Amino acid sequence: MKDLGYPERTIELAKIAGYLHDIGNCVNRTDHAHSGAIIAYNILKDMGMDVKERTEIMMAIGNHDENTGTAISDISAALILADKSDVHRDRVSNTNLSTFDIHDRVNYAVTDAELKLDAKERKITLNLNIDTKLCPVLDYFEIFMDRTMMSKYAAKYLKIWFELVINGTKLL
């Protein structure tokens, strides 16, 4: 957001939304975006944040899940792009490969992930390296297609182009 020239306070609100966005998982994974939005709103209210700002953060958190949300503001679009690009081996806490589900397998197979913005060209690229001995690229799309399309729409909201490159091949 800094590179795209957003004001410092907007960037700060996006950071707070990013920090708090998954807080709803303390209630339940299902509908965590909605429960989290309300929890974050109340925390920020108790901390004395201005109503307009805490509503902005509530809306961003409440719209970050690909099943129910979409980019509805600049900070929500930034949150979506950051969250949906967070795919990497480091995310897998299960160390027993024989018990991996498809999510574990795909995340574990991603050995490198980089989200790079070219502010001048208004283009953002998610560059992934997938170890295809562990997981075919198709498995990535099986579970991340919705997230990919959500990222594409979020980028469009910010008037930037979203590209996905896997193992050196431009797929989107």
- Contacting residues toward Fe ion, per CB under 5 A: 22
Q: Compare residues 19 and 170 and give the one whose CB is closer to Fe ion.
A: 19
CA distances from 31 to 22, 23, 65, 163 (A): 10, 11, 8, 28
CB of 163 to Fe ion, least distance (A): 23
Least CB distance to Fe ion at residue 25 (A): 7
Q: Among residues 50 and 150, whose Cβ is nearest to Fe ion? A: 150
Choice between 8 and 101, CB closer to Fe ion: 101
Under DSSP, the state recorded for 167 is: T
CB 123 to Fe ion: min, Å: 25
Strand, coil or helix: 26: helix
Q: Which structure tokens are listed for 45?
A: 């209210």
- β-partners of residue 163 are 125
Dist CA 114 CA 20 (whole Å): 22
Q: By C-beta, is 12 or 22 nearer to Fe ion?
A: 22
Least Å from the CB of residue 65 to Fe ion: 6
Task: Return d(Cα 42, Cα 38) in angstroms, integer.
Answer: 6
